[in-house]
Copies of this chain bind each other. A is one copy, B any other.
């Protein structure tokens, strides 16, 4: 049963290792040992470590996107925002895509960095849509800029991982995202009772 061919097995293994240890610190040897695929096979499918990394990275990016599309789904915008923000995440493992930005060998290689940039652009777009919807639904003040806020919310998650890893405790990650959610709620427009006197 070669349902799981070497090629796919290599990509999956490299994806895991890149999440756990990054690119630079993952050796072809590590991939061979965890996957059980031999040297010859490995270099047959992927001539260089970098080629394998590109495939693995593409896969990690793809893993992220289904959740993002939920941001732009049906239902109350503020509820979607909360659902995405509070979605269960392993704070101590970090983001499999965001992690790549800290690896000098990725950061300095446009080919490796490109999928990361594209992924983040897509996530940003998802955030912008739901934040615009929230403004339109009267759940967020109209003087808040959705484009900017989208970056803020992405940064809270990405930075939350950094705090959690530093303390080896998921607490700061949860505090950071809960905090920004409170802030969003506190930044709701004045209620109808308040607005009537403004003529709105």
Q: How far, in whole Å, are A162 and B172 apart by their CA atoms in the complex?
A: 17
Of the candidates B102, B143, B183, B187, the one whose C-beta lies within 8 Å of that of A152 is: B183
Question: From DSSP, what is the main secondary structure of chain A's interface residues?
Answer: helix
Chain B residue at minimum C-beta to C-beta distance from A155:
B159
Smallest beta-carbon distance A21→chain B, Å: 5
Knowing A159-B155, A168-B113, A179-B145, the reply to whether A102 touches B104 (Cβ < 8 A) is no
Fill in one digit per residue for A150-188: 1 if any B CB lies within 8 Å of its CB, else 0.
Answer: 111011111111110111100011011111101110110
Q: What is the interface of chain A, defined by CB distance below 8 A to chain B?
A: 20-22, 24-25, 94, 98-99, 101-105, 107, 113, 116-117, 120-121, 124, 141, 143-145, 147-152, 154-163, 165-168, 172-173, 175-180, 182-184, 186-187, 190, 194
